[in-house]
Amino acid sequence: MAKDARAHRCRCDDRNATAWLAGLAMALCAAAPARAETDQKAAAKGMRAPAANAGASAVQDPNTIVITAQKRSQTLQEAPVAVTAFTAQAMKERGINDAFDVAQRTPNLLISTNSAMGQPYIRGIGSDALGVGTESSTTMHLDGVYISRGAATLMDFVDIERIEVLRGPQGTLYGRNSVGGTINVITRKPANDFEANATLDLGNYDLRRLRGVINIPLGNDTAIRISGLRSLHEGFFTNVNPQGQRRLQDEDVAAGRIAFRTAPADNLEFLLSGDWYRGRGTGLVNKPLEPGTSGAFGGVVFPQPFVTDTPLHHFQNEDFRGLQSQVNLTLEKVRVSLITGYRKTVWKNAVDSDGTRAAVLNLLWGENHDQASAELQFASVPGTRLEWVGGLYYIHENGTFHALLDFPIAGFSVLDIGKDRTNAYAAYGQATYPITPTVKLTAGIRYSIEHKTADTALFLGSTPLGEAPGAKTWHAWTPKFVIQYEPTRRLDFYLSASKGFKSGGFNSAGLQGPFDPETLWAYEGGAKMRLFRDKLNLNTAAFHYDYQNLQVVKFANNLTITTNAARAKVDGVELEATANPLTGLQIGGNAAYLNARYTQYVTGDPARPQLGQLNLAGNPLTRAPRYSAGLFGRWAIPLGLDEILLLGEYNWRSRSYFSPFKDKAISQSPLGIINARITFHPKDDRWSAALWGKNLSNRTVYGSLFRFDSTGFNAVAQLREPRTYGVEFGARF
């Protein structure tokens, strides 16, 4: 009884605290990009500089944020590509814990979910295809290693040095499936100085999150770094069904990483790291959106967003592991790197598809996947007139997907088993040459070969329904051209043309043959400006895409079908700005316009077959809001030997659709999210205390939204977190 009462108190709205935090957020609108390494000697040797005080009052300068978006070190402002970067300090100050938090603060980046699977979309380019025979059209890389499976992209971030979101196709340097762009996650590397820190978060829904890091120098340019995470919270959903779990959509996560680095010579470096992630809980809950009683099956739907009535025992088990190494050898005129990686992704999930006590459709599904990759990279050393990078790439994948669709109300079940094996090869090169002191030309190209074999089988109970084996190979050339004009050191303009390619594949969630690759030609112009004596940084980009053979997914008879839409076009404009009007004060924001629409696509809607074939030309692409904007502010107030840091932000998106049919019943209405944080710490930053809040206006956020034509409900959603708030305590040793 005491525990239930305590949990109830945690869930109740603290109206005074919430109103206070919301008012602060609206007044300030917060958070700055964080500072990058400034110790050039340490960076040149590959060692991370000693951590600066996280609460230092000096406002972060985007001109010093060093990124590796083009596989060589550049500042954020000089790279001729649309990129948003968050460093460790920015992530701490803004409460960025996972990819969803990154998406909320990045123009034209949206991440949706399908149970355990993450589905990133950049500028409307992404994929909701299921199974191991295909991948997303927007990618994620961890320390240079491509992460194939969508489930692994949703891991909590642990001890991260920097995150870079590259918008636009990255077909030359990143290659595999980076049609929309890529998210680069760079972890902190072992350093030569001792470091230890710990952070504890306590919040509503009985949140308990503990993070810790220790860096141990071993002498002779050798060090080891260990980081860990333990995070728990009770479920956001209240389940009123006495046969089911009382709380649903909880979290029980343990994760860690161990990294080793040694540099036996000035020109030689070895890096080895291993990471693991274990997630347990009930997983995301399917929530029908029509209150009342379904006439077809009698399941009751509650109007409250986080109340459900389901007897199914939900669970979601996730186990991810990774091992990777990097060897860097710097010779007189070339730097050679060998990057190898192995990743294991295992997850399984049980979900009530209709989300009510009506026993319509229960789904037990998951996948078991291995990948091993190697990249041999050659690059020019810093300071050469011709800057170039090239390499060879290989990846092998082997995976199994299973889905058991149980129809208790009808007394039968369908089992889907899909297997896939992939071998992919690539060779690439890119070079930049200054033809005048103010003009640079860049040209690059990549050649890719993708070979996949697959086998899918369906069973009605124990009776085979059919089998769909297959094998196919695809080839692609993906070039890139850039002209960059830098009339002064504070003004940088660029024009680019590049091609993205996503491999064809097989639908392991249904019986069908292979679907074709999709390709995208992108044309972009941008400007990066430092104005008013570097007090204002203004970055803009305008782009046009010609997108062909889109891989689109639709439901039919409770199975998925992946087909190629004919064609689409995407036009857009993005703006990011930060201003430092006063010492310790930073304000700014971003805005984006996106017109992503089908230009040729005729298909039927499985949920409305009576309409026949529909011409979808002019309909928006899925997960592509027309407008989005964000405001932020950061104010460090000195108090003698102490400091208070005030942060607040407001992020807004217009309506986005979850299907190509422009159906408002399965769309996210215009949405604004308010976050805020207040941090107190001494100047030496040995400890800190913070009060934070996310989604303070308690908006309903859809992770996904879809139709199941067998459930009797028009729309079923999976919801992201409601309002959360708490306190954080940190210490450095």
**In whole angstroms, what is the distance from residue 491 CA to residue 80 CA?**
12
**In whole angstroms, what is the distance from residue 58 CA to residue 388 CA?**
35
Length of the chain: 733
**Side-chain half-sphere CA neighbours of 487 within 13 A:** 6
**In whole angstroms, what is the distance from residue 730 CA to residue 201 CA?**
9
- Short-list 407, 486, 481, CA closest to 439: 486
Residue with tokens 């303009």: 493
- CB–CB of 139/127 below 8 Å? no
- pLDDT (tens digit per residue) in 31-75: 333 333 333 334 434 443 333 333 333 345 555 688 888 888 888
- pLDDT (tens digit per residue) in 183-197: 999 999 999 999 999
- pLDDT (tens digit per residue) in 358-385: 888 899 999 999 999 999 999 999 989 9
2-187+315-732 CATH pick, 2.40.170.20, 3.40.50.720, 1.20.140.70, 2.30.36.70: 2.40.170.20
Q: Is the pLDDT of residue 13 over 50?
A: no
- Structure confidence at residue 55 (pLDDT): 36
- Structure confidence at residue 708 (pLDDT): 64
- Short-list 287, 357, 252, CA closest to 719: 287
DSSP 8-state code for residue 63: G
Q: Is the pLDDT of residue 297 over 80?
A: no
The residue type at 540:
T
**In whole angstroms, what is the distance from residue 656 CA to residue 498 CA?**
27
Q: Is the pLDDT of residue 572 over 90?
A: yes
* Cβ within 8 Å of residue 110, ≥6 positions away: 103, 120, 121, 126, 623, 624, 625, 653, 656
- Structure confidence at residue 73 (pLDDT): 85
The residue type at 131:
G
Percentage of residues in the chain having pLDDT higher than 90: 68
Q: Is the pLDDT of residue 30 over 50?
A: no
- Short-list 41, 30, 184, 155, CA closest to 97: 155
- pLDDT (tens digit per residue) in 465-509: 888 899 999 999 999 999 999 999 899 999 999 999 999 999 887
Rounded average pLDDT over 673-697: 94
- Structure confidence at residue 294 (pLDDT): 57
Q: Is the pLDDT of residue 6 over 80?
A: no
DSSP 8-state code for residue 51: P
Kindly report which listed range (14-18, 325-329, 475-479, 544-548) carries the lowest average pLDDT score. 14-18
Residue 545 has which token pair?
């895409």
- Short-list 169, 179, 174, 186, CA closest to 393: 174
DSSP 8-state code for residue 657: E
- Structure confidence at residue 481 (pLDDT): 97
**Which range has highest mean pLDDT (153-167, 208-222, 455-469)?**
208-222
Q: Is the pLDDT of residue 144 over 90?
A: yes
Task: Report the SS3 class of residue 327.
Answer: strand
Q: Phi and psi (nearest 5°) for 19?
A: -60, -40
What are the Cα distances from residue 407, in Å, to 297, 439, 457, 533, 620? 12, 65, 19, 67, 34
- Structure confidence at residue 71 (pLDDT): 87
- Structure confidence at residue 195 (pLDDT): 96
- Structure confidence at residue 709 (pLDDT): 57
Higher pLDDT, 134 or 443: 443
**In whole angstroms, what is the distance from residue 714 CA to residue 724 CA?**
29
**In whole angstroms, what is the distance from residue 537 CA to residue 217 CA?**
38
Higher pLDDT, 554 or 186: 186
- Structure confidence at residue 62 (pLDDT): 56
**In whole angstroms, what is the distance from residue 105 CA to residue 653 CA?**
11
**In whole angstroms, what is the distance from residue 518 CA to residue 552 CA?**
10
- Structure confidence at residue 292 (pLDDT): 63
**In whole angstroms, what is the distance from residue 62 CA to residue 36 CA?**
9
Please state, as a whole number, how many other Cβ atoms lie within 10 Å of the Cβ of residue 467. 12
SS3 of 145-174: the string is EEECCHHHHHCCCCCEEEEEEEECCCCCCC
- Structure confidence at residue 713 (pLDDT): 60
Each domain of the chain, given as residue ranges in start order, spans 2-187+315-732
- pLDDT (tens digit per residue) in 246-288: 999 999 999 999 999 999 999 999 999 999 999 999 999 999 8
Please state, as a whole number, how many other Cβ atoms lie within 10 Å of the Cβ of residue 19. 12
- CB–CB of 381/333 below 8 Å? yes
Rounded average pLDDT over 213-220: 96
- Structure confidence at residue 356 (pLDDT): 86
**In whole angstroms, what is the distance from residue 688 CA to residue 732 CA?**
9
- Structure confidence at residue 56 (pLDDT): 36
* Cβ within 8 Å of residue 446, ≥6 positions away: 171, 172, 173, 175, 426, 427, 428, 429, 477, 478, 479
Q: In what order do the strands lie in the sheet with 307-308?
A: 247-248, 237-239, 307-308
| CA terminus-to-terminus distance, the chain | 40
- Structure confidence at residue 52 (pLDDT): 35
Strand-pairing partners, residue 229, are 211, 255
Task: Report the SS3 class of residue 557.
Answer: coil
SS3 of 481-531: the string is EEEEEEEECCEEEEEEEEEEEECCECCCCCCCCCECCEEEEEEEEEEEEEE
- Short-list 394, 498, 493, 492, CA closest to 444: 498
- Structure confidence at residue 113 (pLDDT): 86
What is the DSSP code string of 423-491?
EEEEEEEEEEEESSSSEEEEEEEEEEEEEEEEEEEEEETTEEEEEEEEEEEEEEEEEEEEEEEEEETTE
* Cβ within 8 Å of residue 390, ≥6 positions away: 377, 378, 379, 427, 428, 429, 430
Task: Report the SS3 class of residue 15.
Answer: helix
Residue with tokens 């003009």: 439
Average pLDDT along the chain: 87
Residue 385 has which token pair?
């007139």
Q: Is the pLDDT of residue 633 over 90?
A: yes
Q: Is the pLDDT of residue 611 over 50?
A: yes
- pLDDT (tens digit per residue) in 426-455: 999 999 999 999 999 999 999 999 999 999
- Short-list 581, 668, 658, CA closest to 628: 668
**In whole angstroms, what is the distance from residue 543 CA to residue 525 CA?**
6
Would you give the distance in Å from CA 624 to the centre of its chain?
A: 15
- pLDDT (tens digit per residue) in 378-421: 999 998 999 999 999 999 999 999 999 998 888 899 999 999 99
DSSP 8-state code for residue 28: H
Longest CA–CA span in the chain (Å) reads 77
Pairing state of beta strands 237-239 and 307-308? parallel
